[in-house]
A and B are shown apart, each in its own frame.
Chain A
Amino acid sequence: MSKKILTVDDSRTIRDMLKLALSDAGHTVIQAEDGVRGVEVLEAAGLVDVIITDINMPRMDGYGFIEHVRSGTSNRATPILVLTTESEPAKKLRARNAGATGWIVKPFNPDKLLAAIRRVSP
Chain B
Amino acid sequence: MDPMEAIKQTYFQECDELLLAMEEGLISMENGEADGEVINAVFRAVHSIKGGGGAFGFEALVGFAHTFETVLDMVRSGTLAASGDVVKVLLRAGDKLADFVAAARNGSELVTDTDVEAELTNLSGATDEAEKAAAAEMESLQFTPVHVDLDDEPAPQRPADAWKIRFAPHADLYAKANEPFLLIRELRTLGETEVGADVSGIPELASIDPEQSYLSWDIVLRGCPNRAAIEEVFEFVSGDCELDIQEELPKPTVDIPVLPDEAQPAGTVIVQVEKEQIEKKSAAVQLPTENAPKQTIRVDLDKVDRLVNIVGELVITQAMLTQRVMECGQARTTAVAAGLNELEHLLRELQEGVMAIRTQPVKSVFQRMPRLVRELAAQTNKQVHLVLEGEATEVDKTVIERLGEPLTHMIRNAIDHGLESAEERIAAGKPAEGTVTLSAEHRGGRIVIEVSDDGRGIDRSRVRHKAIEKGLISPSATLSDEETDNLIFLPGFSTANQVSNISGRGVGLDVVRRNIVDLGGRIVTSSTVRKGSRFSLTLPLTLAVLDGMIVAAGDQTFVLPLSHIVESLLPKASDVRPFGSQGRLLNVRGVYVPLVSVGELLSVQRSLSDPAAGVVILVESEGIGRVALAVDAIVGQRQVVIKSFESNFHHIAGIAAATILGDGRVALILDIDGLVARCREAANRSTELQQAIGA
Query: Could you tell me which A residues sit within 8 Å of B by CB distance?
Result: 4, 10-14, 16-17, 20, 28, 30-31, 41, 44-47, 56-58, 70, 73-74, 77-80, 83, 85-87, 89-90, 92-93, 96, 99-103, 106-108, 118-122
- State the CA gap A59–B307 with chains docked (Å): 36
- State the CA gap A10–B44 with chains docked (Å): 9
Q: Which chain B residues in 1-50 approach chain A with CB under 8 Å?
A: 3-4, 6-7, 10-11, 13-14, 37, 40-41, 43-44, 47-48, 50
Q: Judge whether A122 and B177 touch: CB under 8 Å.
A: no
Task: Say yes or no: A119-B186 contact (C-beta < 8 A), given A41-B287, A44-B287, A96-B239.
Answer: yes
Q: Determine the main DSSP class of B at the interface with A.
A: helix
Q: Judge whether B10 and A12 touch: CB under 8 Å.
A: yes
Q: Which residues of A contact B233 (CB under 8 A)?
A: 119
Q: Judge whether A85 and B287 touch: CB under 8 Å.
A: no
Q: Which residues of B contact A106 (CB under 8 A)?
A: 51, 54-55
Q: Judge whether B177 and A13 touch: CB under 8 Å.
A: no
Q: Judge whether A74 and B182 touch: CB under 8 Å.
A: no
- A-B pairs with beta carbons under 8 Å apart, 6 shown: A10-B44, A17-B55, A96-B239, A118-B186, A120-B178, A122-B181
Q: Which residue of B has the minimal Cβ distance to A103?
A: B236
Q: Determine the main DSSP class of A at the interface with B.
A: mixed
10 shortest interchain CB distances as A-B pairs = A89-B138, A102-B236, A107-B54, A13-B52, A13-B11, A107-B55, A79-B177, A11-B48, A101-B177, A16-B7
Q: Of B111-119, B276-284, B488-496, B515-523, which stretch is located at the interface?
A: B276-284
Q: B179 within 8 Å of A by Cβ?
A: yes
Task: Say yes or no: A120-B182 contact (C-beta < 8 A), given A16-B7, A96-B176.
Answer: yes
Q: Judge whether A78 and B236 touch: CB under 8 Å.
A: no
Q: B135 within 8 Å of A by Cβ?
A: yes
Q: Which residues of B contact A13 (CB under 8 A)?
A: 7, 10-11, 14, 48, 51-52, 55
B44 contact from A4, A56, A83, Cβ within 8 A: A56
Q: Which residue of B has the minimal Cβ distance to A41?
A: B287
Q: Which residue of A has the minimal Cβ distance to B282?
A: A47
Q: B175 within 8 Å of A by Cβ?
A: yes
Q: Which residues of B contact A30 (CB under 8 A)?
A: 287
Q: Distance in Å from the Cβ of B371 to the closest Cβ of chain A? A: 23
Not counting A73-B278, A107-B51, a sample of 10 additional A-B residue pairs whose C-beta atoms are within 8 angstroms of each other reads A13-B51, A16-B10, A77-B177, A79-B177, A80-B177, A96-B176, A101-B178, A106-B54, A120-B177, A121-B182
Q: B153 within 8 Å of A by Cβ?
A: no
Q: B131 within 8 Å of A by Cβ?
A: yes
Q: Which residues of B contact A79 (CB under 8 A)?
A: 177-179
Q: Which residues of B contact A12 (CB under 8 A)?
A: 10, 13-14
- State the CA gap A83–B51 with chains docked (Å): 10
Q: Judge whether B182 and A118 touch: CB under 8 Å.
A: yes
Q: Judge whether B131 and A87 touch: CB under 8 Å.
A: yes
Interface size of B by CB at 8 A reads 52
Task: Say yes or no: A14-B182 contact (C-beta < 8 A), given A70-B175, A73-B278, A102-B236.
Answer: no
Q: B684 within 8 Å of A by Cβ?
A: no
Q: B139 within 8 Å of A by Cβ?
A: yes
Q: Which residues of B contact A78 (CB under 8 A)?
A: 177
Q: B228 within 8 Å of A by Cβ?
A: no
Q: Which residues of A contact B186 (CB under 8 A)?
A: 118-119
Q: Judge whether B285 and A46 touch: CB under 8 Å.
A: yes
B284 contact from A4, A20, A70, A90, Cβ within 8 A: A4
- State the CA gap A96–B138 with chains docked (Å): 14
Q: B462 within 8 Å of A by Cβ?
A: no
A56 contact from B43, B178, B182, Cβ within 8 A: B43
- State the CA gap A77–B179 with chains docked (Å): 10
- State the CA gap A14–B50 with chains docked (Å): 11
- State the CA gap A113–B629 with chains docked (Å): 73
Q: B208 within 8 Å of A by Cβ?
A: no
Task: Say yes or no: A89-B139 contact (C-beta < 8 A), given A78-B177, A120-B177.
Answer: yes
- State the CA gap A77–B268 with chains docked (Å): 12
Q: Judge whether B176 and A47 touch: CB under 8 Å.
A: no
Q: Which residue of A has the minimal Cβ distance to B57?
A: A107
Q: Judge whether A17 and B54 touch: CB under 8 Å.
A: no
Q: Which residues of A contact B691 (CB under 8 A)?
A: none
**What 0/1 readout, one digit per residue, does chain B (111-148) give for beta carbons within 8 Å of chain A?**
00000000000000000000110010011001000000
- State the CA gap A94–B66 with chains docked (Å): 21
Q: Which residues of B contact A103 (CB under 8 A)?
A: 236
Q: Which residue of A has the minimal Cβ distance to B40?
A: A58
**What 0/1 readout, one digit per residue, does chain B (278-307) give for beta carbons within 8 Å of chain A?**
111011110101000000000000000000
A119 contact from B10, B236, B271, B280, Cβ within 8 A: B236
Q: B441 within 8 Å of A by Cβ?
A: no
Q: B650 within 8 Å of A by Cβ?
A: no
Q: Judge whether A102 and B178 touch: CB under 8 Å.
A: yes
Q: Judge whether B282 and A99 touch: CB under 8 Å.
A: no
Q: B183 within 8 Å of A by Cβ?
A: yes
Q: Distance in Å from the Cβ of A100 to the closest Cβ of chain B? A: 6
Task: Say yes or no: A46-B182 contact (C-beta < 8 A), given A16-B10, A102-B235.
Answer: no
Q: Distance in Å from the Cβ of B274 to the closest Cβ of chain A? A: 9
Q: Which residue of B has the minimal Cβ distance to A30?
A: B287
- State the CA gap A47–B283 with chains docked (Å): 9
Q: Which residues of B contact A58 (CB under 8 A)?
A: 37, 40-41, 44
Most chain B CB inside 10 Å of its own CB: which residue of A78, A118, A119, A121: A119
A45 contact from B13, B51, B176, B285, Cβ within 8 A: B285
A120 contact from B142, B236, B282, B283, Cβ within 8 A: B236
Q: Which residues of A contact B181 (CB under 8 A)?
A: 122
Q: Which residues of B contact A47 (CB under 8 A)?
A: 279-280, 282
Q: B505 within 8 Å of A by Cβ?
A: no
- State the CA gap A80–B176 with chains docked (Å): 8
Q: Which chain B residues in 166-216 approach chain A with CB under 8 Å?
A: 174-179, 181-183, 186
Task: Say yes or no: A87-B177 contact (C-beta < 8 A), given A17-B7, A44-B285.
Answer: no
Q: Judge whether B175 and A99 touch: CB under 8 Å.
A: yes
Q: Distance in Å from the Cβ of B69 to the closest Cβ of chain A? A: 9
Q: Judge whether A57 and B44 touch: CB under 8 Å.
A: yes
A14 contact from B52, B66, B280, Cβ within 8 A: B52
Q: Which residues of A contact B139 (CB under 8 A)?
A: 89
Q: Judge whether A28 and B284 touch: CB under 8 Å.
A: yes
Q: Judge whether A89 and B135 touch: CB under 8 Å.
A: yes
**What 0/1 readout, one digit per residue, does chain B (472-500) give for beta carbons within 8 Å of chain A?**
00000000000000000000000000000
Q: Which residue of B has the minimal Cβ distance to A108?
A: B55
Q: Distance in Å from the Cβ of B176 to the closest Cβ of chain A? A: 5
Task: Say yes or no: A45-B287 contact (C-beta < 8 A), given A58-B44, A107-B51, A118-B186.
Answer: yes
Q: B275 within 8 Å of A by Cβ?
A: yes
Q: Which residues of A contact B135 (CB under 8 A)?
A: 86-87, 89
Q: Distance in Å from the Cβ of B122 to the closest Cβ of chain A? A: 19
Q: Judge whether A119 and B183 touch: CB under 8 Å.
A: yes
Q: Which residues of A contact B285 (CB under 8 A)?
A: 44-46
